[in-house]
A and B are shown apart, each in its own frame.
Chain A
Amino acid sequence: MINMIWMGMILIGFGFAAVNGNIDAVTKAVFDGAQTGVTVSFGLISILVFWLGMMRIAEDSGLLKKVAVMLGPVVRFLFPDVPKDHPAIGYILSNMSANLFGLGNAATPMGIKAMQELQKLNPDKDTATPAMCTLLALNTASITLIPTTLIAIRLNYESANPAEIVGTTLLATAIATAAAILADRWYRRRTIRRKQPSGIGAGRNPDMKG
């Protein structure tokens, strides 16, 4: 699906530019986009270096494990296939709480670190595990208690009540997160169910790859 979306955006963009006669825009867009990609990655260096260092201290001191044990039940429900005291749990929790308080630039390094820990449990390094998909679902929906950036912008444009959207945002983000968790669960079950018959009846379907 990601292949289709990626190629689709480029091809549709190419088609539109060709028909509209602004093919030059494509050339410019290619180089601008590439530059944005590098700029964003470089912007990540400072926060990644700092937070990964900080989180290593937390890991070495056993703090991460302690937090994981305390908040274990929630994570065990969401990530049933991650071992109870695996370091990934601590990172997942730090990632979730950073998102909750709108600390985007702390959430990303912790999420990446959680991914790296989950990757250690992954038998097939090219393919995402269900736990990775769940972590991603939680982050794309990213439940937020307080949308700080938006409040700042509204304040800037002289809103009478800049924070009045906190309640609506909280409700909408909760619904989106619930939808993400449900959809993730549904796909996860379906993947597991698919795997079982292909294991038993593998001989009948020689063309099917497990």
Chain B
Amino acid sequence: MLSWISVISAWSIPIMVAFIPLYAYTRKVPVYESFVEGAKDGFSTAIGIIPHLVGMMVAISVFRSSGALEFFVGWTGPFLQSLGVPGEILPLGLLRPLTGTGSLAYTTELIRAYGPDSMIGRIASTIQGSTDTTLYVLTVYFGAVGIRNGRYALKVGLFSDLVGFIAAIAVCLLVFG
């Protein structure tokens, strides 16, 4: 099963890159012109995201470097510990929805410090892999089309992060415990 999935992962992009133009060519589409025409939008889309990402990254950066994040982490750690969950895991729950690079760095640090096959290493890997960075996804996707009012999207994203976090811990404790 696993090798099957990794084969698909390795082959899917090359196959798409080869198959899409070939299919279009047989349908008499001017493939290169069509590519250039679509690619033109890429630059302006990326540039349009800049204000959204700068705003969000500044807020996250201030929150993190001021020591505020660390404080909340230290304050909630003992609570988790009393439930039989390693307290070191908690920062990941706070970092994961906010910053992809930050949480990946923290996960790597946990794996380095406790070992990949420790319970902490396994839980951290599972949490890191099971959800995406909500705030980043929201900023980029809504920023690209100029949506200002995201309605309930953020609440849904954060709720699923919380569920994913709890599920990752519970599943790991059950499977590896």
Distance, CA A157 to CA B111, complexed state (A): 7
Q: Residues 56-100 of chain A: 1 if any B CB is under 8 Å from the residue's CB, otherwise 0?
A: 111111110000000000000000000000000000000000000
Asked if A145 contacts B39 (CB within 8 A), the reply is: no
Is B79 in contact with chain A by the CB < 8 A criterion?
no
Q: Residues 40-57 of chain B: 1 if any A CB is under 8 Å from the residue's CB, otherwise 0?
A: 011101110110011111
Interface residues on B, range: 35 or more
> Distance in Å from the Cβ of B104 to the closest Cβ of chain A?
7
- B interface, over-half SS: helix
Q: Which of A7, A133, A153 contacts B108, CB < 8 Å?
A: A153
Smallest Cβ-Cβ distance to A7: which chain B residue = B59
Q: Which of B21, B104, B151 contacts A149, CB < 8 Å?
A: B104
Distance, CA A128 to CA B172, complexed state (A): 36
Q: Which of B58, B144, B153 contacts A133, CB < 8 Å?
A: B153
Distance, CA A150 to CA B38, complexed state (A): 33
Binding site for A on B (CB under 8 A): 2, 5-6, 8-9, 12-13, 16-17, 20-21, 23-24, 27, 29, 31, 34-39, 41-43, 45-47, 49-50, 53-68, 71, 97, 104, 107-108, 111-112, 115-117, 121-122, 125-135, 137-138, 140-142, 144-157, 159-161, 163-164, 167-168, 171-172, 175-176
